[in-house]
Amino acid sequence: MTVTREEKQSLIDLANEARKRAYAPYSKYQVGAALRTKTGRVFTGVNIENAAYPHTMCAERVAVFKAVSEGEREFEIISVATDNGGSPCGGCRQVLAEFGLDTIVLMADKDGRLIKETTVRELLPEAFTPEKLKP
């Protein structure tokens, strides 16, 4: 299914809205994500930091985990909004790869500008996917 320009912008706007709810008192780097499933449902996520720093969770993974826990495993597109259009970390790339390399990834800044459009496949070359575990 194709994703229109308007739909992409709406996912970017949703990610930026969610971003306001980020809990990032330590880094002050607020991240929001909006993940659309192949069934058309949208799950948002924000980064959630912790006083015990390593227990912080990224916005993208919160969105993916919310979706999976609600029974969704097939994703079409995720938008990630940060102050400066930053890209998803390696851990989030790996988690996204688990559910498909063709998921479109939009990186946007705080003003809702699309900084880059790519795919999980491009972000994680030679990904370790579920197929690799097959005998």
Note the residues at the interface with ligand THU (CB under 6 A): 24, 27, 29, 31, 47, 49, 56, 58-60, 88-89, 92
Tokens, residue 115 = 């900084």
CB of 47 to ligand THU, least distance (A): 3
Q: Is 7 a catalytic residue?
A: no
Q: Which residues lie below 8 Å from residue 22, measured CB to CB, with a gap of 6+?
A: 30, 31, 32, 46, 47, 48, 59
The pair of three-digit structure tokens given for residue 77, joined into one six-digit string: 């597109």
Of 36 and 123, which has the nearer Cβ to ligand THU? Answer: 123
| Residue with Cβ nearer ligand THU (9 or 94) | 94
Q: Which is nearer to ligand THU, 39 or 90 (CB)?
A: 90
Query: What are the CA-CA distances from residue 19 to residues 16, 54, 95, 121 (Å)?
Result: 5, 20, 20, 25
Q: How far is the CB of 31 from ligand THU (least distance, A)?
A: 3
Strand order across the beta sheet in which 104-108 lies: 42-46, 32-37, 75-81, 104-108, 114-119
* 11, 42 contact by CB (below 8 A): yes
Residue 2 Cβ vs ligand THU, minimum distance, rounded to whole Å: 26
- Indicate which residue of 49, 60, 72, 76 is catalytic: 60
Question: φ and ψ at 132, to 5 degrees?
Answer: -65, -20
Shortest distance, CB of residue 9 to ligand THU, whole angstroms? 21
**26 vs 39, beta carbon nearer ligand THU:** 26
Write out the catalytic residue numbers: 60
